[in-house]
């Protein structure tokens, strides 16, 4: 009886969740695909990143991001608190190690939406993580989408386009590439990847 109980506890402990990582150029529709995945897939939770960038209109601390100062971010780096972090579009973004491990150990599947540098850091530390790259049909289409969003200055738009070109060069390192030319199809594809993995 005693041994059986111990076995049950050990089995429970071993049942950790899976880690999914979503990347792709900003404007590729990652955010929307992420929302669909979180709504449609049970037991999938999103890990809220830390960033030093300022909140955009409508963004709330603790919802889209934890908005923190550069000093606080650097403190986190020196205390080794980040599973990964990167300097993206002139700001720092990072995933807290503890957040992810707590969820995985509780048996939850965790979704990160992070840039390519961060995704490759995660893969190096946790090779079992599944990396999905959300691509755009072309850079021209990406520019059109970013302009339609009306959220970026001309300068920020040009930084994002340059980064998109660099990010797309790394997509072969991902486990899956989804081209988001039709949101419904892309969403279905992503759901299939997440649920069959």
- What's the rounded Cα separation, in Å, for the pair 45 and 42? 9
Tokens standing for 112?
């990160």
Angle at 83 between CA 51 and CA 169, to 5 degrees: 80
CB 11 within 8 A of CB 155: no
Residue 135 sits in the site that holds ligand 5GP (CB under 6 A) = no
Residue 113 sits in the site that holds ligand 5GP (CB under 6 A) = yes
Residue 94 sits in the site that holds ligand 5GP (CB under 6 A) = yes
- What's the rounded Cα separation, in Å, for the pair 127 and 15? 17
* Cβ closest to ligand 5GP, residue 89 vs residue 191: 89
Residue 191 sits in the site that holds ligand 5GP (CB under 6 A) = no
Residue 118 sits in the site that holds ligand 5GP (CB under 6 A) = yes
What is the Cα 167 distance to its own chain's centre? 14
**E strand or H helix at 158:** helix 154-168
- Only one of the segments 11-19, 88-96, 173-181, 185-193 lies at the binding site for ligand 5GP (rule: CB under 6 A); that segment is 88-96
How many residues bind ligand 5GP (CB under 6 A)? The answer is 15
Q: Helices 30-40 and 183-196 meet at what angle, rounded to 10?
A: 50
Min separation Cβ 10 and ligand 5GP, Å:
33
Residue 84 sits in the site that holds ligand 5GP (CB under 6 A) = yes
Residue 52 sits in the site that holds ligand 5GP (CB under 6 A) = no
User: What are φ and ψ of residue 87, in 5° steps?
Assistant: -100, 110
Min separation Cβ 62 and ligand 5GP, Å:
14
Residue 142 sits in the site that holds ligand 5GP (CB under 6 A) = no
Give contact residues for ligand 5GP (rule: CB under 6 A).
26, 49, 53, 84, 86, 88-89, 93-95, 113-115, 117-118
């Amino acid at each position: 009886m005693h041994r059986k109980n111990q076995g049950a506890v050990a089995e429970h402990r071993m049942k950790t969740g899976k880690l999914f990582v979503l990347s792709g150029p900003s404007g590729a529709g990652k955010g929307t695909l992420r929302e669909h995945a979180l709504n449609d897939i049970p037991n999938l939770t999103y890990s809220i990143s830390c960033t030093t960038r300022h909140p955009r209109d409508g963004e709330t601390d603790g919802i889209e991001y934890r908005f923190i100062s550069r000093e606080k971010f650097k403190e986190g780096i020196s205390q080794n608190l980040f599973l990964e972090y990167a300097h993206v579009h002139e700001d720092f973004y990072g995933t807290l190690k503890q957040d992810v491990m707590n969820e995985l150990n509780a048996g939850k599947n965790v979704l990160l939406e992070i840039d390519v540098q961060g995704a490759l850091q995660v893969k190096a530390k946790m090779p079992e993580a599944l990396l999905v790259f959300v691509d755009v049909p072309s850079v021209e289409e990406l520019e059109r989408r970013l302009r339609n969003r009306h959220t970026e200055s001309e300068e920020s738009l040009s930084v994002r386009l340059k980064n998109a070109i660099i990010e797309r060069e790394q997509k072969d390192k991902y486990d899956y590439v989804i081209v988001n030319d039709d949101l419904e199809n892309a969403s279905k594809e992503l759901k299939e990847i997440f649920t069959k993995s």
